[in-house]
């Protein structure tokens, strides 16, 4: 049986995407006194809705830019923005080659045994693996027509019929991280979990003949990468798509090509929460942000961000700052939110505005369990996030514009970094270092909703609320 990646929306989609207006946006907005947008925004963010959105996005497939599931995710996000009543644009990169696994199965059995075949549930195909279907005997040596069991497959060609590689993997080896083969490689490679590899080695050690049955269906095509951008007009008005604006964003692809629940369906759901809460607050009578606010879901993390920066800034209006979400849905070690990078002068005002929101809320009565992170921190540049495409650019450097990421975990192991002088550092202790929480399932086939966002959906609500209010205050304070 093939493990199919559902390519249609689940039944939740229609109910989720249908907005439930909280007030008539016409008459009541004129009659009622203006609501405090900070209170309305805070309450308008819904962790449960974000949790469901992550499940729906993951069900679409790995959502890599330009692939079938990437397009489905762009359509999903576009629909969600449009149903809120926001104006939506699709920005496309030039076409390029894309690859997506559509369905696969990998099962093993001892020849001559009565035991049924065992499916390797955690297996995930490596990038650029070709279509394949076959059966081969397991071997610890790479040889023609065998199923080669190895720790490290490398990127190159093998004469084996199929490769089973137990690395790279999560730090405990329990979930494979899909690696990457060279384009045009003739044999497929599957990442498998360490316990699965140990089971197979045990069978071979006992002298068994082990048969591997495999099937993989992939799609390669040339296609543009779609980024979805939506706009929420500000009080200062201005021509559509030309006004100065602040940008909330998240990469919409799964980064590693795995399920990508925390990295980064969580970031997408967080941005959608901000858009939802803000638009509904305005519909209910709260004042609009002083400047226009836009939302971008990048089709491909770095490629789309660079393309946008080079082709749309400043043609689409003056960019006032960027708040990026990447891994805002889970943390293996702590209830913690981090803001980075805090070691760029242009980021200081926005970082401090975000931290001020968290400090105030931590001091306030946190009556609901899970209402707020017990820890928050600011840390220096760690590399690798799309907000750096902006903050490293000449435009952002020369104008000291902020580009900041808010997240609940980073990388696959806990980190500790030197605290930036003069910046907040850790909220819960005073020291020269800053801790960064991690996600055990980082980039692996275990980055599923069950393992991450379903366990701590409130992470996305924290990140959305902090970002909303921090950016709102930052914009109000601009000269």
Q: How far is the CB of 439 from Zn ion (least distance, A)?
A: 10
| Interatomic CA distance for residues 408 and 363, integer angstroms | 20
CB atoms within 10 A of CB 280: 21
Q: How far is the CB of 382 from Zn ion (least distance, A)?
A: 12
Nearest CB to Zn ion, comparing residues 255 and 437: 255
Contact 254, 47 (CB under 8 A): no
Site for Zn ion, residues 238 to 257, rule: CB under 5 A = 255
- Which strands sit side by side in the sheet containing 245-251, from one edge to the other? 87-92, 226-232, 292-298, 245-251, 319-325, 403-407, 336-340, 375-378
- Residue spans of beta strands (DSSP E) within 57-119: 87-92, 96-110, 118-119
- Residue spans of beta strands (DSSP E) within 176-225: 189-191, 210-223
Q: How far is the CB of 461 from Zn ion (least distance, A)?
A: 19
Nearest CB to Zn ion, comparing residues 126 and 388: 388
| Interatomic CA distance for residues 431 and 274, integer angstroms | 33
- Strand, helix or coil for residue 424: coil
Q: How far is the CB of 24 from Zn ion (least distance, A)?
A: 39
DSSP conformational letter for 127: B
Q: How far is the CB of 337 from Zn ion (least distance, A)?
A: 16
| CA-based nearest residue to 150, from 107, 205, 194, 184 | 194
Q: Which stretch binds Zn ion (CB under 5 A): 35-43, 76-84, 321-329, 445-453?
A: 321-329
Site for Zn ion, residues 418 to 457, rule: CB under 5 A = none
- Residue spans of beta strands (DSSP E) within 161-244: 162-167, 189-191, 210-223, 226-232
Q: Which stretch binds Zn ion (CB under 5 A): 20-28, 233-241, 276-284, 319-327?
A: 319-327
Nearest CB to Zn ion, comparing residues 263 and 447: 263
CA end-to-end span of the chain, whole Å?
A: 62
Exposure string of 192-202, with b = 16+ CB inside 10 Å and e = fewer, is: bbbebbeebee
Q: How far is the CB of 263 from Zn ion (least distance, A)?
A: 4
Q: Kindly tell me which residue out of 264, 266, 338, 393 binds Zn ion, with binding defined by CB under 5 A.
A: 264
Any idea which residue has 């609940």 for tokens?
Answer: 408
| CA-based nearest residue to 446, from 212, 220, 123, 44 | 123
Q: Kindly tell me which residue out of 273, 326, 439, 456 binds Zn ion, with binding defined by CB under 5 A.
A: 326
Q: How far is the CB of 325 from Zn ion (least distance, A)?
A: 9
Is 343 one of the binding residues for Zn ion (CB under 5 A)?
no
| Interatomic CA distance for residues 162 and 154, integer angstroms | 13
Q: How far is the CB of 103 from Zn ion (least distance, A)?
A: 25
Q: Which stretch binds Zn ion (CB under 5 A): 42-50, 322-330, 375-383, 424-432?
A: 322-330
Q: Kindly tell me which residue out of 56, 196, 262, 263 binds Zn ion, with binding defined by CB under 5 A.
A: 263
Q: Which stretch binds Zn ion (CB under 5 A): 19-27, 165-173, 268-276, 318-326?
A: 318-326
Nearest CB to Zn ion, comparing residues 162 and 247: 247
| Interatomic CA distance for residues 237 and 248, integer angstroms | 19
Q: Which stretch binds Zn ion (CB under 5 A): 181-189, 198-206, 262-270, 434-442?
A: 262-270
Under the rule (CB under 5 A), what is the footprint of Zn ion? Answer: 255, 263-264, 326
């Amino acid at each position: 049986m093939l493990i199919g990646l559902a390519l249609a929306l689940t039944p939740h989609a229609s109910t989720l995407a249908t907005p439930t207006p909280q007030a008539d946006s016409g008459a009541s907005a004129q009659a009622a006194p203006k609501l405090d947008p900070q209170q309305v925004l805070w309450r308008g963010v819904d962790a449960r809705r974000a949790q469901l959105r992550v499940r729906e996005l993951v069900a679409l497939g790995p959502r890599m830019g330009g692939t079938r599931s990437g397009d489905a995710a762009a359509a999903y996000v576009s629909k969600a923005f449009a149903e809120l009543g926001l104006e939506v644009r699709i920005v496309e990169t030039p076409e390029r080659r894309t690859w997506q696994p559509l369905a696969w199965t990998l099962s093993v059995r001892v020849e001559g045994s009565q035991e049924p075949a065992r499916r390797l549930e955690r297996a995930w195909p490596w990038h650029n693996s070709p279509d394949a279907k076959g059966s081969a005997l397991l071997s610890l040596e790479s040889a023609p027509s065998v199923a080669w069991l190895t720790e490290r497959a490398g990127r190159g060609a093998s004469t084996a019929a199929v490769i089973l590689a137990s690395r790279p993997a999560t730090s405990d080896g329990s979930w494979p991280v899909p690696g990457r083969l060279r384009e045009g490689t003739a044999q497929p490679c599957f990442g498998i979990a360490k316990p699965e590899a140990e089971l197979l080695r045990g069978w071979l050690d006992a002298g068994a003949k082990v048969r591997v049955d495999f099937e993989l269906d992939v799609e390669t095509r040339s296609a543009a990468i779609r980024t979805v951008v939506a706009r929420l007009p500000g009080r200062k008005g201005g021509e559509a798509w030309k006004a100065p604006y602040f940008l909330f964003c998240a990469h919409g692809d799964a980064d590693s090509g795995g399920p990508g629940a925390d990295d980064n369906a969580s970031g997408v759901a967080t941005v959608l929460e901000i858009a939802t809460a803000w638009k509904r607050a305005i519909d209910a009578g709260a004042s609009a942000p002083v400047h226009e606010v836009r939302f971008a879901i990048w089709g491909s993390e770095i490629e789309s961000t660079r393309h946008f920066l080079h082709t749309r800034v400043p043609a689409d209006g003056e960019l006032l700052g960027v708040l990026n979400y990447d891994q805002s849905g889970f943390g293996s070690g702590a209830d913690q939110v981090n803001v980075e990078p805090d070691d760029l002068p242009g980021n200081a005002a926005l970082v401090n505005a975000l931290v001020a929101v968290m400090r105030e809320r931590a001091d306030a009565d946190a009556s609901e369990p899970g209402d707020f992170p017990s820890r928050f921190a600011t840390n220096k540049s760690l590399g690798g996030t799309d907000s750096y495409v902006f903050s490293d650019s000449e435009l952002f450097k020369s104008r000291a514009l902020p580009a900041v990421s808010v997240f609940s975990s980073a990388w696959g192991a806990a980190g500790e970094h030197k605290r930036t002088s003069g910046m907040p550092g850790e909220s819960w202790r005073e020291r020269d270092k800053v801790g960064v929480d991690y996600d055990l399932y980082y980039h692996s086939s275990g980055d599923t909703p069950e393992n991450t966002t379903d366990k701590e959906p409130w992470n996305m609500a924290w990140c959305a609320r902090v970002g909303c209010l921090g950016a709102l205050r930052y914009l109000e304070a601009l000269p």
